[in-house]
Structure 1
Amino acid sequence: MTLTIYQLEQLLKLATEAALKAGTFINSLDRSSLQVHNKQAGSSLSAQVVTQVDLDSQAIILEILQPTIDQYDLALLTEENASEKDVATHARFNKDYFWCIDPLDGTLPFIEGGDGFAVSIALVDIAGKPVIGVVHNPSSGDIYQAINAQPLISKVLKNGLLWQSERLKEYSHSLSLYIDRSFQQDPRYPAVIEQLTRLSAQQGLALQVIKTNGAVMNAIGVLEKAPACYLKLPKAQLGGGSLWDFSATAAITQALSAQYFTASSQACCAVSDAQGAPLDLNRKDSNYMNHKGVLYSSGLQNQTFLNIIN
């Protein structure tokens, strides 16, 4: 079954409602009294921390989206119900589409009192293409929505208005590198910084390293502040972010690129793995992305950043 434009619009509307309702709940909480728990997950601290807020936010989202699962025969993958033990038997491999939900991305900045967290909801097809993406930033109130279903429809909204291409052309005086804080302990980190510092100088820019966000707001930051990149290099250990960390922002990035830019545009935006291939968003042997890495870019050709990390 291929969803129609009307059906995609209806699902986008419901995903937006769910994200906003979850964000309202998250904003109502006293973060100083949170109960923090550990879970069996990837190798980084951010992958191992969970709060009751994550679970309650997920319940709010599913209260709105559960009827669509029944109506359209969708599968469901969320951060709080995923397991590495039985990945191969997950229903997402037998359904045309699945909801891919992170009820609170950026748990570490959230529990530390920061503002780099978000609610992320995506609809991904069985081939691994993200066709709907909704991201809500509770701190700012911003809501990002995308339908990424070329050639049928491709659109991106920010706060209910069409995201204009001029927004990505408002370059800053720096090249922004978004990273997860754990990347600073990676032995490859100094070489990446050295090469990006050199690239920044060639462009007449200063390198700015941003390490206070979760994965979702890192990717949104790239789109908001060109030129910029967010990278996660491949690694042997489980981790490197999960399917739910990137599906919604990948839909937004792909739709934005298709809507406004050509391959030769200097104001382009792109998302790929560390080799330049499309993200494997329905990976059959794991929920993690460590096998191929992740790269978001804006303002410079994606290949420019690929040349640095390869």
Structure 2
Amino acid sequence: MKDLQEILAIARAVGWGAADILRSYYHGTIKDSDLEVQYKQNEPVTVADIAVSQYILENLQAALGNEDFAYISEETYESQSKLASNYVWIIDPLDGTKDFIKKTGEYAIHIALVKERRPVLAVVVVPEAEKLYYATKGGGTFRETRNGSIPVQVSSGKRIEDLTLVVSRSHRHEKLNYLLQNLPCQNQKSVGSVGCKIATIVEQQADIYISLSGKSAPKDWDIAAPELILTEAGGKFTYFDGTPLQYNTGDINQWGGLLASSSEYHEILCQQARDVLAHSNPSS
């Protein structure tokens, strides 16, 4: 098997190629670029999702094969069973499809390599910002543009009251709103895709992201790549009880409460989230 840096170079190249395809659909420069929006389990899917999924899978498989790696992509995943391979690619070809359709610019591409249920390599591309974030386990996080790459770090030194929560425009429900209203930090910034939210934290424009499953939960492909981008930039991303996230477990849903932060107050915020929910009884 190739070493991790060789694999990372392949994943970054695939990420940029996928970004070019999405931008061509987004800006209508591709021939017959009607998005042909369909709905799968109440979530929108476009021809762009399908085209980019196919591009990423074909190019990773051409470069790396199927012998050492298994592949999970949002647009091709059907089975609930855990893939037996030691290394599994977990891919979201278009995270933030609603934002893509609404033209907010806040959509992203997630490519993560998971080994034994934990991410070891991640690429998150924000096409409209023309930025690609990449990380390897123990290797730090970098922001890459067409002109090169530089390391990025989360912010530090703020008071807990001055922290900014990055929140969704959609995927809101009463229980989550109640939780957010009862935390000590009340600054909020609305951003689309999870990848874009985590990019906002590593760019020091926000400090916290919270996901609380309601009738649905985020999937492995929503979280795996952004998690490693954040943690290698000095942040933390755990369940509310502090335990690490697990991927390729046989259940693609990340149920319960997840908290991502710039880390200084991570344990305090997790405890406060648990306390707020323990004393709440809103319908959700």
* TM-score between the two structures when normalised by the length of structure 2: 0.84
Q: Percent of aligned positions with the same letter in both sequences?
A: 25
**Aligned twin of 2:125:** 136
The answer to whether the aligner puts 1:215 opposite 2:194 as a matched pair is yes
Aligned residue runs from structure 1 range 204-283, under 5 A = 207-225=186-204, 228-235=207-214, 237=215, 239-257=216-234, 269-283=235-249
Q: Gaps spanning 5+ residues in structure 2: where?
A: 275-284
Tell me: CA distance 1:303–1:226, structure 2 relative to 1, closer, same or farther (3 Å).
farther
Q: Gaps spanning 5+ residues in structure 1: where?
A: 201-206, 258-268
The one of 39, 51, 55 equivalent to 1:60 is: 55
Per-residue Cα deviation, 1:117-158 (whole angstroms, up to 9, x for no partner): 011101001x2110000011101101111111x4xxx23211
Give 3-state SS (helix, strand or coil) of 1:60's partner. Answer: helix
Q: How many residues align?
A: 265
Aligned residue runs from structure 1 range 125-204, under 5 A = 125=115, 127-148=116-137, 150=138, 154-159=139-144, 160-165=148-153, 168-169=155-156, 174-190=162-178, 192-196=179-183, 199-200=184-185
The answer to whether the aligner puts 1:17 opposite 2:13 as a matched pair is yes
**Aligned twin of 2:80:** 87
The answer to whether the aligner puts 1:116 opposite 2:106 as a matched pair is yes
- TM-superposed deviation, 1:35: 1.3
Give 3-state SS (helix, strand or coil) of 1:168's partner. Answer: coil
Q: Aligned equivalents of 1:70 and 1:104: distance in 2?
A: 23
Per-residue Cα deviation, 1:7-43 (whole angstroms, up to 9, x for no partner): 1111111111111011011111246832110113xxx
Give 3-state SS (helix, strand or coil) of 1:158's partner. Answer: strand
The answer to whether the aligner puts 1:306 opposite 2:270 as a matched pair is yes
Q: Does the aligned pair in 1 maintain the 2:143–2:152 contact within 8 Å?
A: no
Q: Does the aligned pair in 2 maintain the 1:177–1:208 contact within 8 Å?
A: yes
Q: Aligned equivalents of 1:171 and 1:162: distance in 2?
A: 24
Q: Does the aligned pair in 1 maintain the 2:239–2:245 contact within 8 Å?
A: yes
- TM-superposed deviation, 1:67: 2.5
Q: Aligned equivalents of 2:127 and 2:240: distance in 1?
A: 30
Q: Does the aligned pair in 2 maintain the 1:155–1:162 contact within 8 Å?
A: no
Q: Does the aligned pair in 2 maintain the 1:121–1:135 contact within 8 Å?
A: yes
Tell me: CA distance 1:292–1:68, structure 2 relative to 1, closer, same or farther (3 Å).
farther
- TM-superposed deviation, 1:64: 1.5
Q: Aligned equivalents of 1:299 and 1:99: distance in 2?
A: 27
Per-residue Cα deviation, 1:59-104 (whole angstroms, up to 9, x for no partner): 2212320124426520000000112xx312x4x2x11101111111
Tell me: CA distance 1:50–1:164, structure 2 relative to 1, closer, same or farther (3 Å).
closer
Give 3-state SS (helix, strand or coil) of 1:33's partner. Answer: coil
Tell me: CA distance 1:107–1:145, structure 2 relative to 1, closer, same or farther (3 Å).
same
Alpha carbon RMSD of aligned pairs, Å?
2.4
Tell me: CA distance 1:58–1:188, structure 2 relative to 1, closer, same or farther (3 Å).
closer
Q: Aligned equivalents of 2:152 and 2:201: distance in 1?
A: 15
Q: Does the aligned pair in 2 maintain the 1:122–1:248 contact within 8 Å?
A: yes
- TM-superposed deviation, 1:170: 8.6
- TM-superposed deviation, 1:214: 1.2
Q: Which amino acid aligns with 1:181?
A: R
Q: Aligned equivalents of 1:55 and 1:26: distance in 2?
A: 10
The one of 245, 248, 253 equivalent to 1:288 is: 253
Q: Aligned equivalents of 2:104 and 2:38: distance in 1?
A: 19
